[in-house]
Amino acid sequence: MVLGLIGGTFASAAPVVELYRQAGAAAGHPADSLRLGLTSHFFTGPTSQGSREVFYPYYREYLRPKTPGGRGWAVSPDDFKQIASPAGALMIGSPQEINRNRSSR
Which bin fits 30, alpha (ψ -120 to 50), beta or left (φ > 0)?
beta
Residue spans of the domains in the chain: they are: 2-9+35-102
Which bin fits 16, alpha (ψ -120 to 50), beta or left (φ > 0)?
alpha
With a cut of 80, say whether residue 72 has pLDDT above it.
Answer: yes
Q: pLDDT tens-digit profile of 21-41?
A: 999 999 999 999 999 998 899
Instruction: Confirm whether pTM is higher than 0.75.
Output: yes
Going by C-alpha positions, the residue among 74, 12, 87, 89 that lies closest to residue 43 is 89
What pLDDT was estimated at residue 36?
A: 93
Average of per-residue pLDDT values in the chain: 90
